[in-house]
Amino acid sequence: MLKRKLEVVAVVLAALVLSLYSAPSFAGSQARIVRLSDVEGNVQIDRNIGQGYEKAFLNLPLTQGVKLRTKGVGRAEVEFEDGSTLRITPDTVVEFPQLALLDSGGKASSVNVAEGTAYINFSGAKDDQFTLTFGHEKFVFNHAAHLRVDLGDGEASVAVFKGDVQVEAPSGMVEIGKNQTARFELRKDDKDKYELAKNIDSDPYDAWDKAQDQYHQRYTNTASNTYSPYAYGSTDMAYYGNFFNAPGYGMMWQPFFAGVGWDPFMDGAWAFSPGMGYGWVSAYPWGWTPYHYGSWMFAPGYGWAWQPGGAWTAFSGIPRVVNPPHNFVMPQPPAGTGKSTIVVNRGPVSTVGRFSDKLVVRNNSAGLGIPRGSVENLTKISQSVQEQGQMTTRIHTVPVSPSRESGYGESTSRSGSSAGLPMPAPSPVPLAAPAPGHHGK
């Protein structure tokens, strides 16, 4: 039975992947939008609208020209359409000078690491161009690779965990293979110097990066089975809810912990993006694809659920709603010419203590407050929550490593804050994603 349901999910999300690739840009333009897919702690964004840095939050659309920076214990992840990811650790600044759609249909992405530490995992999608710059150096990804870039005081290092890369340095091309580290001098007088070592020194945030990769890999397999690359947002949908076939309505998706009183617009914000204006930004950890493609429908006997639809159109900033109940009032974007973010907080949140491994999951929270991959068997928990109103469950966390003594995947980390817009409390990082066999109705 589980195998059959995973096959259904695979078919549906495979269609979503193809649809996402057919129209990921603004209507009538070559611009693209990528997803701020994880936010922990103090993360700030310069939206390139003349207002400088502001608070960043989960699911914000990122467009060409934006900048991200982390302060204190802040961390963030950016997810590209093909599933490639960029993760940044505390006290890091990254810029996105290019996010464009090529005439060939491929995507051109350019990221500049201005300071701090960033992890890049490029999926190797055909026809896509992904360029990374730092200091005086630049490299263009030609195939799948996973690496870490670290800018220190007067020097930078590139550690390659998977694949290999060629860096264009002032002194020429530098080839860095798997499990190798190249160190570059950034000082003006020494910018031609570099060293290549056949090993990787571990970083305290290596385990955080690896845990996030494990989450994506496990739920990518659940979501799209043999289909790769996957669309951004699909792994979160596979973890936080599932598809079902509703007679008379067809294939639909619904988040766990969504009872009779829940609607899709209980938590989120109206945020301004250049080229798009005001758009709805969902606070739910799965709240990307269902708010920009397809439509939300209220089905009697089922409640609110999302329909992927047939032929999709371009990215939409305002979600489409079908057959709402008579008393439902659709949130409206702010009127006027302002650019301030308007927050909406109406729903319950699942909560965890600052240093606790216990999570209180509440009905109608729809996954808000549950760190990605941190709780096993959400199906069973959802059933209990519907019966009892709430339930306390254990979450899996990883403690922070204060040193760099262990190798990649052996050091540990702990998140510094929540990933949701209305949640200032810290949230844990998953130790490892629970097995797909624990997921699904």
pTM of the model: 0.83
Cis-peptide into 90, omega within 30 deg = no
For 211, the token pair is 């845990």
Q: Is the CB of residue 317 less than 8 Å from the CB of residue 292?
A: yes
Rama region for 59: left / alpha / beta (φ>0; ψ in -120 to 50; rest): left
pLDDT of residue 293: 85
Task: Say how many C-beta atoms besides its own lie within 10 A of residue 98's C-beta.
Answer: 16
Closest CA to 194 of 221, 176, 178: 176
Q: How far apart are CA 296 and CA 321, in angstroms?
A: 5
Residue 100, pLDDT score: 92
Please report the pLDDT score of residue 215 as a whole number: 92
CB 157 within 8 A of CB 150: yes
* pLDDT at 203 (0 to 100): 94
* Helices marked H in 150-233: 206-224
pLDDT for position 340? 83
Indicate the residue type of 116: G
pLDDT at position 57, please?
94
Cβ–Cβ under 8 Å, residues 183 and 156: yes
Position 231 scores a pLDDT of 67
Q: Which residues of 34-67 are buried (b: 16+ CB within 10 A; e: fewer)?
A: bbbbbbbbbbbbbbbeeeeeeebbbbbbbbbbbb
Residue 378 falls in which region: left (phi positive, over 0), alpha (psi -120 to 50) or beta: alpha
The pLDDT value recorded for residue 120 is 97
What is the predicted pLDDT for the residue at 188? 72
Q: For the chain of 441 residues, list the mean pLDDT of each consecutive stretch of 10.
A: 41 38 45 92 93 94 96 96 94 96 88 97 87 93 94 92 93 92 84 87 94 90 44 89 90 92 94 87 95 91 86 73 91 81 87 77 93 88 90 72 38 32 36 36 34
